[in-house]
Amino acid sequence: MTENTESRSDRTLGVVIEEIREHMVRLGYKRGYRRRFDRTWRKLTEFAAQRGITSLSVDLTEAFLLQRRVGSNSAEAPIASEQQHLMRAMQCVREFQQHGCFQRRRSAASVRLPEALSRVLEAFVRFCIDDLRVCPRTVQVRRARVTTFLIFLASRAVFDVRFISIETVSGYLTSLCHLMPRTLAAVVSDLRSFLRYLVMKGEVPAALIERLPRIRVRPDARLPEVWRAEEVAALLGAIDRGSPVGKRDYAILLLAARLGMRVSDIRDLRLEDLRWEEARIERVQAKTGVPIVLPLTEEIGEALIAYLREARPTTTRREVFLRHVAPFEPFAPNDNLHHIVTTYRRRAGIELPKLSHKGLHSLRHTVATRLLEAGVALETISGVMGHLSPESTRIYTKVDLVGLRSAALDIEEVHHE
């Protein structure tokens, strides 16, 4: 792998981008989508040429984003959707340079698979529901991950699962090297479930499963990222609350930063979950299936009202938060809303050290850490966070607590049923 990486880094920017274009065709991206990326990469090439740069590097892509004012709060900064596109385009070229490939993400569910692969996918999903009794949320995630694998097969001209080889599986896993170990372990677990199904059906040999790597991740292998109080204030202060998208994003970030809600519960929050008369948020957690009741504080209530009355697109959808690009659908099931945090973190000028990952979930970690530092019992924090067991909360005892002095919410207002 080292030799291949070095050879890729030696190639000119133009050559790498041309190979990326071919890779996007193999992955089944629509022509209009590819053209949009082509325009961005042409601008990247022009940007590099003006500076006498001929090779691709992380520094080049970061400088390009800075020049395009991505993350800036200035009037010349691109709108949020354009900033997200620019970041995605740069991520694609970085991943391709490092691994020789990249995978489709949010759009995977909308891809039209070859008929034979589509039939296998639907049969597997039905098996998970009817025979394994897998919960709907897990089925949804598993379908998305298996779909991504099948897209990879189709991109390699493998249209029959009987022709899956260990080389094909290895190539797929190599394309996911950018993922964090915990995420990669989950992907491999779902892939193993799919291959076991195929073995049961007599489509592939059992030896294929034996060759899958076993990725063991200790529960406390990676300490939670936490924000300082002044960073949270700066993040929220960087939001333009006069715009429709700003009103939405402000309410989303408040739910994470004040109540510690999971990304999945924020993304799937429905209008009927908001109990205005009781000043509570009641819902069944997407991850655990356990009901939880959280306080609908004045701050959060005002932010939600401002979004619902003044900014939310007119729609029959019951999800609270919607994408502000037609057709105004809810966020995709695998959207971790990382782009929202990244946009305002950059506008606030909050710098991250290398290998630091402060997404929306890190705000949830911050709430738990503050409660712990305030002397709240682990069992109580477990209820606030919606953990099934206090053991899941114990990781926060390993976090550096210096500077975290105030609880983010009144724990007496939280009910974990």
Confidence of residue 411 (pLDDT cuts 50, 70, 90): very low
What SS3 class is residue 102?
Answer: coil
Active site residue 262: yes
Q: Output the pLDDT for position 387.
A: 59
**In this structure, which long-range contacts are made by residues 309-313, counting pairs with CB atoms below 8 Å and at least 24 apart in sequence?**
310/244, 310/247, 311/243, 311/244, 311/245, 311/247, 311/248, 312/244, 312/248
Confidence of residue 416 (pLDDT cuts 50, 70, 90): very low
Q: Output the pLDDT for position 185.
A: 86
Q: Report the alpha-carbon distance of residue 137 to residue 124 in Å, rounded.
A: 15
Tally of CA atoms within 13 A in the half-sphere of 73 that contains its CB: 18
Q: Output the pLDDT for position 384.
A: 63
Q: How many CB atoms lie within 10 A of CB 28?
A: 17
Catalytic position from the list 142, 143, 324, 361: 361
Residue range 347-404, pLDDT digits in tens: 988 887 655 667 788 888 787 777 766 666 566 666 666 655 555 555 554 444 433 3
Active site residue 197: no
More confident residue, 137 or 409: 137
pLDDT over 60 (residue 3): no
Question: Beta 291-295 vs 280-284: how paired, if at all?
Answer: antiparallel
Residue range 35-49, pLDDT digits in tens: 999 999 999 999 999
pLDDT over 80 (residue 11): no
Q: Report the alpha-carbon distance of residue 59 to residue 98 in Å, rounded.
A: 14
Of the ranges 3-12, 148-157, 383-392, 404-413, which one carries the lowest mean pLDDT score?
Answer: 404-413
Q: Report the alpha-carbon distance of residue 203 to residue 209 in Å, rounded.
A: 12
Q: Report the alpha-carbon distance of residue 86 to residue 105 in Å, rounded.
A: 15
Residue 340 identity (one-letter amino acid): I
Residue range 158-202, pLDDT digits in tens: 889 999 998 888 888 877 766 777 788 888 999 999 999 999 999
Q: Output the pLDDT for position 219.
A: 56
Active site residue 396: yes
Residue range 215-242, pLDDT digits in tens: 776 655 555 578 888 999 999 999 999 9
Q: Output the pLDDT for position 72.
A: 64
Average pLDDT estimate for 290-303: 91
Q: Output the pLDDT for position 251.
A: 97
Average pLDDT estimate for 50-74: 83
Q: Output the pLDDT for position 2.
A: 37
| Domain 112-210 architecture | Orthogonal Bundle (1.10)
Catalytic position from the list 250, 307, 396, 416: 396
Average pLDDT estimate for 316-326: 90
Q: How many CB atoms lie within 10 A of CB 407?
A: 17
Q: Report the alpha-carbon distance of residue 156 to residue 154 in Å, rounded.
A: 5
Active site residue 339: no
Active site residue 23: no
Of the ranges 54-68, 87-101, 105-119, 342-356, which one carries the lowest mean pLDDT score?
Answer: 105-119
Catalytic position from the list 364, 365, 370, 416: 364
| Domain 229-416 architecture | Orthogonal Bundle (1.10)
Catalytic position from the list 69, 137, 178, 287: 287
Q: Output the pLDDT for position 1.
A: 36
Active site residue 307: no
Q: Output the pLDDT for position 400.
A: 42
Catalytic position from the list 68, 142, 262, 358: 262
Q: Report the alpha-carbon distance of residue 96 to residue 17 in Å, rounded.
A: 9
Domain map (residue ranges) of the chain: 2-99, 112-210, 229-416
